[in-house]
Protein backbone atom coordinates (compact mmCIF):
# COMPACT_ATOMS: atom_id res chain seq x y z
CA UNK A 1 0.00 0.00 0.00
CA UNK A 2 1.40 3.37 -0.96
CA UNK A 3 2.04 5.97 1.71
CA UNK A 4 -0.61 8.13 0.11
CA UNK A 5 -3.21 5.35 0.31
CA UNK A 6 -2.41 4.76 3.97
CA UNK A 7 -2.99 8.46 4.69
CA UNK A 8 -6.26 8.43 2.75
CA UNK A 9 -7.45 5.35 4.67
CA UNK A 10 -6.53 6.90 8.00
CA UNK A 11 -8.36 10.08 7.11
CA UNK A 12 -11.40 8.03 6.08
CA UNK A 13 -11.35 6.07 9.37
CA UNK A 14 -10.99 9.30 11.36
CA UNK A 15 -13.94 10.70 9.41
CA UNK A 16 -16.03 7.64 10.25
CA UNK A 17 -15.14 7.92 13.90
CA UNK A 18 -16.12 11.55 14.17
CA UNK A 19 -19.30 10.96 12.17
CA UNK A 20 -20.32 8.07 14.44
CA UNK A 21 -23.49 8.96 16.34
CA UNK A 22 -22.52 10.38 19.71
CA UNK A 23 -24.91 9.89 22.63
CA UNK A 24 -26.58 13.30 23.12
CA UNK A 25 -26.97 14.19 26.79
CA UNK A 26 -30.60 14.25 27.92
CA UNK A 27 -31.78 17.76 28.76
CA UNK A 28 -32.59 18.38 32.44
CA UNK A 29 -36.09 19.78 33.00
CA UNK A 30 -37.39 20.99 36.39
CA UNK A 31 -41.11 20.77 37.11
CA UNK A 32 -42.39 22.53 40.25
CA UNK A 33 -45.20 20.93 42.29
CA UNK A 34 -46.12 22.10 45.82
CA UNK A 35 -46.47 20.39 49.23
CA UNK A 36 -45.69 16.65 49.10
CA UNK A 37 -49.20 15.68 50.23
CA UNK A 38 -51.00 17.90 47.71
CA UNK A 39 -51.99 17.15 44.12
CA UNK A 40 -49.54 19.55 42.38
CA UNK A 41 -46.65 17.36 43.41
CA UNK A 42 -48.48 14.47 41.72
CA UNK A 43 -48.88 16.58 38.55
CA UNK A 44 -45.12 17.25 38.54
CA UNK A 45 -44.23 13.63 39.35
CA UNK A 46 -46.65 11.93 36.95
CA UNK A 47 -45.85 14.16 33.96
CA UNK A 48 -42.15 13.77 34.73
CA UNK A 49 -42.70 10.00 34.83
CA UNK A 50 -44.39 10.04 31.40
CA UNK A 51 -41.60 12.11 29.89
CA UNK A 52 -38.82 9.94 31.32
CA UNK A 53 -40.64 6.82 30.11
CA UNK A 54 -41.41 7.94 26.55
CA UNK A 55 -38.80 10.64 25.93
CA UNK A 56 -36.04 9.51 28.26
CA UNK A 57 -33.36 9.67 25.58
CA UNK A 58 -34.05 13.41 25.14
CA UNK A 59 -35.10 14.59 28.58
CA UNK A 60 -34.45 14.03 32.24
CA UNK A 61 -37.51 15.42 34.05
CA UNK A 62 -37.44 16.04 37.79
CA UNK A 63 -40.67 16.82 39.70
CA UNK A 64 -39.90 18.92 42.78
CA UNK A 65 -41.92 19.78 45.89
CA UNK A 66 -42.13 23.59 46.35
CA UNK A 67 -43.99 26.22 48.37
CA UNK A 68 -46.91 26.26 45.88
CA UNK A 69 -48.46 28.55 43.25
CA UNK A 70 -46.79 31.83 44.19
CA UNK A 71 -43.40 30.18 44.55
CA UNK A 72 -43.81 28.42 41.17
CA UNK A 73 -44.90 31.56 39.33
CA UNK A 74 -41.90 33.50 40.65
CA UNK A 75 -39.46 30.64 39.97
CA UNK A 76 -40.73 30.29 36.40
CA UNK A 77 -40.59 34.00 35.72
CA UNK A 78 -36.94 33.95 36.89
CA UNK A 79 -36.19 30.93 34.70
CA UNK A 80 -35.31 28.70 37.68
CA UNK A 81 -37.97 26.11 36.70
CA UNK A 82 -39.09 25.03 33.23
CA UNK A 83 -42.64 24.08 34.20
CA UNK A 84 -44.77 24.47 37.29
CA UNK A 85 -48.34 24.27 38.54
CA UNK A 86 -50.29 27.31 39.69
CA UNK A 87 -53.88 28.22 40.54
CA UNK A 88 -55.81 29.97 37.75
CA UNK A 89 -56.59 32.96 40.01
CA UNK A 90 -52.94 33.45 40.99
CA UNK A 91 -51.90 33.12 37.35
CA UNK A 92 -54.32 35.80 36.32
CA UNK A 93 -53.09 38.11 39.08
CA UNK A 94 -49.42 37.46 38.22
CA UNK A 95 -49.82 37.98 34.48
CA UNK A 96 -51.84 41.18 35.02
CA UNK A 97 -49.69 42.57 37.84
CA UNK A 98 -52.26 42.34 40.67
CA UNK A 99 -52.27 41.16 44.31
CA UNK A 100 -48.75 39.86 45.20
CA UNK A 101 -47.52 41.19 41.84
CA UNK A 102 -49.09 44.66 42.07
CA UNK A 103 -47.42 46.88 39.49
CA UNK A 104 -44.96 44.23 38.28
CA UNK A 105 -46.76 41.92 35.85
CA UNK A 106 -45.08 38.58 35.20
CA UNK A 107 -45.06 39.05 31.44
CA UNK A 108 -42.87 36.06 30.61
CA UNK A 109 -45.44 33.55 31.93
CA UNK A 110 -46.95 31.30 29.27
CA UNK A 111 -49.79 28.79 29.52
CA UNK A 112 -49.40 25.13 28.70
CA UNK A 113 -52.73 23.52 29.76
CA UNK A 114 -55.20 23.28 32.63
CA UNK A 115 -55.37 20.29 34.94
CA UNK A 116 -57.91 19.45 37.67
CA UNK A 117 -60.31 21.76 39.56
CA UNK A 118 -59.28 22.76 43.10
CA UNK A 119 -61.74 23.64 45.84
CA UNK A 120 -61.17 26.25 48.54
CA UNK A 121 -61.63 24.41 51.83
CA UNK A 122 -61.80 25.05 55.54
CA UNK A 123 -61.17 21.82 57.46
CA UNK A 124 -61.46 21.37 61.22
CA UNK A 125 -61.75 18.55 63.75
CA UNK A 126 -65.24 17.80 64.99
CA UNK A 127 -64.15 18.29 68.59
CA UNK A 128 -63.26 21.98 68.06
CA UNK A 129 -66.96 22.86 67.87
CA UNK A 130 -66.32 24.95 64.73
CA UNK A 131 -69.45 24.69 62.56
CA UNK A 132 -69.20 27.81 60.44
CA UNK A 133 -66.57 30.37 59.48
CA UNK A 134 -67.47 32.78 62.31
CA UNK A 135 -66.64 30.06 64.87
CA UNK A 136 -62.90 30.21 64.02
CA UNK A 137 -62.58 33.46 66.02
CA UNK A 138 -60.08 32.95 68.82
CA UNK A 139 -58.83 29.70 67.26
CA UNK A 140 -55.50 28.69 65.82
CA UNK A 141 -55.96 28.46 62.06
CA UNK A 142 -53.47 27.70 59.30
CA UNK A 143 -53.97 30.09 56.38
CA UNK A 144 -51.09 28.69 54.29
CA UNK A 145 -47.40 29.42 53.80
CA UNK A 146 -46.59 32.65 51.92
CA UNK A 147 -45.55 30.82 48.70
CA UNK A 148 -48.85 28.97 48.49
CA UNK A 149 -51.91 29.72 46.40
CA UNK A 150 -54.34 28.99 49.24
CA UNK A 151 -53.10 31.83 51.45
CA UNK A 152 -54.74 34.49 49.31
CA UNK A 153 -57.98 32.44 49.11
CA UNK A 154 -57.97 32.15 52.91
CA UNK A 155 -57.44 35.91 53.23
CA UNK A 156 -60.34 36.59 50.84
CA UNK A 157 -62.63 34.34 52.87
CA UNK A 158 -61.57 35.92 56.17
CA UNK A 159 -62.17 39.42 54.79
CA UNK A 160 -65.58 38.45 53.42
CA UNK A 161 -66.64 36.99 56.80
CA UNK A 162 -65.28 40.07 58.61
CA UNK A 163 -62.48 38.24 60.42
CA UNK A 164 -59.19 40.07 61.01
CA UNK A 165 -56.33 37.62 60.46
CA UNK A 166 -54.08 39.49 62.92
CA UNK A 167 -56.54 40.03 65.74
CA UNK A 168 -59.46 37.61 65.53
CA UNK A 169 -57.60 34.35 64.94
CA UNK A 170 -54.15 32.96 65.67
CA UNK A 171 -53.03 32.63 62.06
CA UNK A 172 -50.33 30.12 61.16
CA UNK A 173 -48.30 29.99 57.93
CA UNK A 174 -47.47 26.28 57.78
CA UNK A 175 -46.80 24.27 54.65
CA UNK A 176 -49.75 21.94 54.06
CA UNK A 177 -48.09 18.67 55.07
CA UNK A 178 -47.23 20.29 58.42
CA UNK A 179 -50.76 21.68 58.78
CA UNK A 180 -52.41 18.28 58.25
CA UNK A 181 -50.20 16.81 60.95
CA UNK A 182 -50.76 19.79 63.27
CA UNK A 183 -54.55 19.34 62.99
CA UNK A 184 -54.27 15.70 64.07
CA UNK A 185 -51.84 16.62 66.89
CA UNK A 186 -54.26 19.35 68.11
CA UNK A 187 -51.65 22.06 67.55
CA UNK A 188 -54.08 23.91 65.27
CA UNK A 189 -57.89 23.90 65.19
CA UNK A 190 -58.47 24.31 61.45
CA UNK A 191 -56.75 24.88 58.15
CA UNK A 192 -57.59 26.50 54.84
CA UNK A 193 -56.42 24.63 51.76
CA UNK A 194 -57.11 24.99 48.04
CA UNK A 195 -56.53 21.62 46.41
CA UNK A 196 -57.84 18.98 43.99
CA UNK A 197 -59.90 16.12 45.41
CA UNK A 198 -59.15 13.67 46.76
CA UNK A 199 -55.94 14.93 48.32
CA UNK A 200 -53.72 13.01 50.73
CA UNK A 201 -53.44 16.23 52.76
CA UNK A 202 -57.10 15.80 53.79
CA UNK A 203 -57.36 12.00 53.56
CA UNK A 204 -54.61 11.62 56.15
CA UNK A 205 -56.23 13.69 58.95
CA UNK A 206 -59.66 12.30 57.97
CA UNK A 207 -58.50 8.78 58.71
CA UNK A 208 -56.81 9.71 62.01
CA UNK A 209 -59.45 12.01 63.57
CA UNK A 210 -63.07 13.00 62.91
CA UNK A 211 -63.00 16.02 60.63
CA UNK A 212 -65.62 18.54 59.54
CA UNK A 213 -65.59 20.63 56.37
CA UNK A 214 -67.13 24.08 56.59
CA UNK A 215 -69.20 25.50 53.68
CA UNK A 216 -67.79 28.68 52.12
CA UNK A 217 -70.95 30.03 50.49
CA UNK A 218 -71.39 33.57 51.82
CA UNK A 219 -73.35 35.84 49.50
CA UNK A 220 -70.19 37.92 49.01
CA UNK A 221 -68.27 34.81 47.96
CA UNK A 222 -70.92 34.26 45.27
CA UNK A 223 -70.46 37.89 44.17
CA UNK A 224 -66.68 37.43 43.97
CA UNK A 225 -67.19 34.25 41.94
CA UNK A 226 -69.59 36.06 39.56
CA UNK A 227 -67.10 38.88 39.05
CA UNK A 228 -64.04 36.71 38.29
CA UNK A 229 -63.86 34.30 35.35
CA UNK A 230 -61.36 32.03 37.12
CA UNK A 231 -63.76 31.13 39.98
CA UNK A 232 -66.82 28.88 39.98
CA UNK A 233 -69.22 27.81 42.75
CA UNK A 234 -69.14 24.05 43.30
CA UNK A 235 -69.74 21.27 45.83
CA UNK A 236 -67.38 18.70 47.27
CA UNK A 237 -69.58 15.60 47.01
CA UNK A 238 -70.55 13.73 50.18
CA UNK A 239 -68.24 10.78 50.77
CA UNK A 240 -65.12 12.33 49.23
CA UNK A 241 -63.46 12.18 52.67
CA UNK A 242 -64.11 9.83 55.59
CA UNK A 243 -66.71 11.23 57.95
CA UNK A 244 -67.84 14.01 55.59
CA UNK A 245 -71.12 12.43 54.49
CA UNK A 246 -72.71 15.69 53.28
CA UNK A 247 -72.05 17.91 50.23
CA UNK A 248 -69.86 20.90 51.07
CA UNK A 249 -70.66 24.04 49.13
CA UNK A 250 -67.66 26.18 48.22
CA UNK A 251 -65.87 27.75 45.27
CA UNK A 252 -63.11 26.46 43.02
CA UNK A 253 -60.17 27.43 40.84
CA UNK A 254 -58.30 25.38 38.24
CA UNK A 255 -54.77 24.02 38.54
CA UNK A 256 -52.82 25.16 35.48
CA UNK A 257 -49.44 24.16 34.07
CA UNK A 258 -47.31 27.16 33.20
CA UNK A 259 -43.92 27.87 31.65
CA UNK A 260 -41.69 30.77 30.61
CA UNK A 261 -41.75 32.24 27.09
CA UNK A 262 -37.98 31.56 26.88
CA UNK A 263 -38.33 27.79 27.25
CA UNK A 264 -37.57 26.30 23.80
CA UNK A 265 -40.58 25.55 21.59
CA UNK A 266 -39.64 21.90 21.07
CA UNK A 267 -39.34 21.31 24.84
CA UNK A 268 -42.92 22.51 25.37
CA UNK A 269 -44.19 20.81 22.19
CA UNK A 270 -42.68 17.44 23.19
CA UNK A 271 -44.18 17.64 26.69
CA UNK A 272 -47.66 18.62 25.48
CA UNK A 273 -47.61 15.91 22.80
CA UNK A 274 -46.57 13.22 25.31
CA UNK A 275 -49.30 14.32 27.74
CA UNK A 276 -52.12 14.27 25.17
CA UNK A 277 -50.91 11.07 23.49
CA UNK A 278 -50.83 9.35 26.87
CA UNK A 279 -53.75 11.12 28.50
CA UNK A 280 -55.44 7.86 29.59
CA UNK A 281 -52.27 6.88 31.44
CA UNK A 282 -52.05 10.30 33.12
CA UNK A 283 -55.75 10.17 34.10
CA UNK A 284 -55.27 6.76 35.69
CA UNK A 285 -52.26 7.93 37.73
CA UNK A 286 -54.26 9.95 40.32
CA UNK A 287 -57.96 10.11 41.23
CA UNK A 288 -57.98 13.93 40.90
CA UNK A 289 -57.05 13.56 37.18
CA UNK A 290 -59.91 11.17 36.36
CA UNK A 291 -62.05 13.76 34.56
CA UNK A 292 -59.36 15.45 32.47
CA UNK A 293 -60.29 16.01 28.83
CA UNK A 294 -58.62 18.02 26.05
CA UNK A 295 -61.50 20.48 25.65
CA UNK A 296 -61.42 21.66 29.26
CA UNK A 297 -57.64 21.45 29.44
CA UNK A 298 -57.39 24.26 26.88
CA UNK A 299 -59.65 26.55 28.96
CA UNK A 300 -59.23 28.64 32.10
CA UNK A 301 -55.78 29.99 31.20
CA UNK A 302 -54.72 33.64 31.60
CA UNK A 303 -51.33 34.04 29.93
CA UNK A 304 -51.11 33.32 26.17
CA UNK A 305 -50.27 29.77 25.11
CA UNK A 306 -46.56 29.03 24.75
CA UNK A 307 -45.88 28.70 20.97
CA UNK A 308 -44.73 25.08 21.45
CA UNK A 309 -48.10 24.18 23.00
CA UNK A 310 -50.02 26.21 20.43
CA UNK A 311 -48.28 24.36 17.59
CA UNK A 312 -49.49 21.01 18.92
CA UNK A 313 -53.06 22.27 19.52
CA UNK A 314 -53.22 23.63 15.95
CA UNK A 315 -51.97 20.32 14.55
CA UNK A 316 -54.79 18.57 16.43
CA UNK A 317 -57.32 21.14 15.17
CA UNK A 318 -58.12 22.21 18.75
CA UNK A 319 -57.36 25.90 18.09
N1 LIG B 1 -53.33 25.14 45.41
C2 LIG B 1 -52.13 24.97 46.20
C3 LIG B 1 -51.16 26.11 45.90
O4 LIG B 1 -51.35 26.83 44.99
C5 LIG B 1 -51.44 23.65 45.98
C6 LIG B 1 -52.32 22.47 46.00
C7 LIG B 1 -51.63 21.18 45.69
O8 LIG B 1 -50.48 21.01 46.03
O9 LIG B 1 -52.27 20.33 45.06
O10 LIG B 1 -50.18 26.29 46.54
Q: Please report which confidence band the pLDDT of residue 9 belongs to, taking 50, 70 and 90 as the band edges.
A: low
Average of per-residue pLDDT values in the chain: 94
Q: Are residues 189 and 225 in the same domain?
A: yes
Name the CA dihedral angle for 275, 276, 277, 279, rounded to a multiple of 10 degrees: 80
Q: 3-state DSSP: the chain helix, strand, coil percent, rounded to 5?
A: 40, 20, 35
Q: Is the pTM of this model over 0.95?
A: no
Q: Is 6's pLDDT higher than 80? A: no
Give the pairing of strands 27-32 and 59-64. parallel
CATH code for position 67: 3.40.190.10
* pLDDT at residue number 14: 52
pLDDT in tens, 222-239: 999 999 999 999 999 999
Range(s) of the domain holding residue 264: 27-117+255-315
pLDDT in tens, 60-72: 999 999 999 999 9
Residue among 66, 72, 87 to mutate when testing ligand 1 (max atoms within 8 A of CB)? 87
Domain boundary among 212, 236, 253: 253
Q: Is 186's pLDDT higher than 80? A: yes
* pLDDT at residue number 252: 98
Residue among 71, 73, 85 to mutate when testing ligand 1 (max atoms within 8 A of CB)? 85
Q: Are residues 188 and 289 in the same domain?
A: no
Assess if residue 79 is contained within a domain: yes
The reply to whether ligand 1 has any atom less than 6 angstroms from the CB of 69 is: yes
Q: Are residues 193 and 270 in the same domain?
A: no
The reply to whether ligand 1 has any atom less than 6 angstroms from the CB of 259 is: no
CA–CA separation, 289 and 176 (whole Å): 20
Amino acid sequence: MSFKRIIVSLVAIAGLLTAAPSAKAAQDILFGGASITGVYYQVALQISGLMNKYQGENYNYVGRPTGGSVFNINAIERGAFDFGVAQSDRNWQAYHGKADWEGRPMEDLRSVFSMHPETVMLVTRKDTGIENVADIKGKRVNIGNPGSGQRHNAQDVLRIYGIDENRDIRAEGLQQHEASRALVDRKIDAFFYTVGNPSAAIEEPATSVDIRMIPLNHEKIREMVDENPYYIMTKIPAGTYRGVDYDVETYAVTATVITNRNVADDVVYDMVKAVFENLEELKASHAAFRHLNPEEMLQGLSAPFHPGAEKYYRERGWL
